[in-house]
C-alpha cells in the first residue's frame, strides 16, 4: 500500500523510484529517544542539553535523569531515517565522548543493531515499538509513509540543508499524496503550542504556493530543484 503511494508520488514529480530503497525496523521508545538525542535532532527538547555532540555527551546523564525523558517515554511514538554514510561517520564519535561506561555501552549496542539492520541499504526508516493499537496503526501507515518519503527525497538529491525546508517538503509531499494540501493550515493550528512540529506545516505551505500552478511532473521537478538551491 505505502510502496504504491510512493511510486505514484514519484511519478507526479518525475522522481526516480526503486522499491529496493525502502526498509524499516522497530526499536524501543527509549532507544528512539536516545538515538534522536545523540543524532542531533533539532527538537528544542534536546537543544537545551547541547547543540553539538560533545555538549550532549557531557549532559547525557542529566538528560537520562530528567523529567524531559520521563515525559517523552510516556507519550513517545514516531520515526526517523538513518543515512548509513553519515551515521557511520559521525555517530560513533559522539558515543566515544560519553564518559559513563553503561550509557556508552547502551549506545554501542544500539549502533550495532542499526548497522546490522541497514546491511546493504543506504538508508533505513526507524519506528518506535508500541503496545497501543491506535499508535501501531498510525506507525504502520502515516509515520512510515512520512519516513519513506524522506528516503525518496534523499535518493533524488532533493534534501535541503535546513531541517525546516526538509520537513516542509516531506510534509508537502505527504499531504499532496493524500489529497490534503488544503488542510495544511489545520496542521499549524493543531501544533500551535509546539513550534518545532508547527514548522513542518509552515514550510509545507511554501511548497504548496511554489507549485500550485504547475501540473506537469517534469516542470514540478525543475521548479522544485531550482527553489531548493541554497536552502
| Percentage of the chain exceeding pLDDT 90 | 71
pLDDT in tens, 20-74: 999 999 999 889 889 989 988 888 888 999 999 999 999 999 999 998 888 877 6
C-alpha span between 12 and 3 (Å, rounded)? 14
pLDDT interval class at 112 (50, 70, 90): very high
C-alpha span between 127 and 140 (Å, rounded)? 9
Beta strand spans in the chain (E) = 24-27, 79-83, 123-128
List, in order, residues 6 or more apart from 39 with CB less than 8 Å away: 80, 82, 87, 91, 94
C-alpha span between 103 and 210 (Å, rounded)? 46
Beta strand spans in 110-150 (E) = 123-128
pTM of the predicted protein model = 0.89
Q: Where are the domains of the chain?
A: 20-131
> Half-sphere exposure of 137 toward its Cβ, with a 13 Å CA cutoff?
3
For the chain, how far is it from start to end, CA to CA, in angstroms? 32
Cell numbers at 228, concatenated: 531548493
Amino acid at each position: 500500500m505505502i510502496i504504491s503511494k510512493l511510486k505514484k508520488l514519484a511519478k507526479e514529480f518525475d522522481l526516480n523510484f526503486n522499491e529496493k530503497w525502502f526498509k524499516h525496523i522497530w526499536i524501543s521508545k527509549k532507544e528512539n529517544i536516545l538515538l534522536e538525542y545523540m543524532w542531533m535532532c533539532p527538537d528544542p527538547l534536546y537543544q537545551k542539553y547541547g547543540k553539538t555532540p560533545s555538549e550532549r555527551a557531557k549532559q547525557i546523564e542529566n538528560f537520562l535523569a530528567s523529567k524531559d525523558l520521563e515525559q517523552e517515554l510516556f507519550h513517545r511514538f514516531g520515526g526517523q531515517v538513518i543515512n548509513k554514510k553519515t551515521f557511520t561517520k559521525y555517530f560513533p564519535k559522539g558515543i566515544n565522548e560519553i564518559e559513563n561506561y553503561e550509557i556508552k555501552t547502551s549506545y554501542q549496542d544500539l549502533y550495532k543493531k542499526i548497522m546490522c539492520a541497514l546491511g546493504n541499504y543506504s538508508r533505513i526508516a526507524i519506528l518506535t515499538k508500541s503496545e497501543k493499537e491506535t499508535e501501531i496503526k498510525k506507525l504502520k501507515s502515516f509515520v512510515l509513509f512520512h519516513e519513506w518519503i524522506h528516503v525518496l527525497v534523499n535518493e533524488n538529491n532533493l534534501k535541503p540543508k535546513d531541517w525546516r525546508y526538509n520537513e516542509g517538503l516531506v510534509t508537502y509531499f505527504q499531504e499532496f499524496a493524500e489529497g490534503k494540501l488544503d488542510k495544511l493550515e489545520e496542521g499549524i493550528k493543531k501544533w500551535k503550542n509546539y513550534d518545532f512540529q508547527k514548522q513542518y506545516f509552515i514550510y509545507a505551505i511554501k511548497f504548496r504556493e511554489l507549485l500550485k500552478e504547475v501540473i506537469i511532473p517534469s516542470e514540478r521537478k525543475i521548479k522544485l530543484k531550482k527553489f531548493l538551491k541554497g536552502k
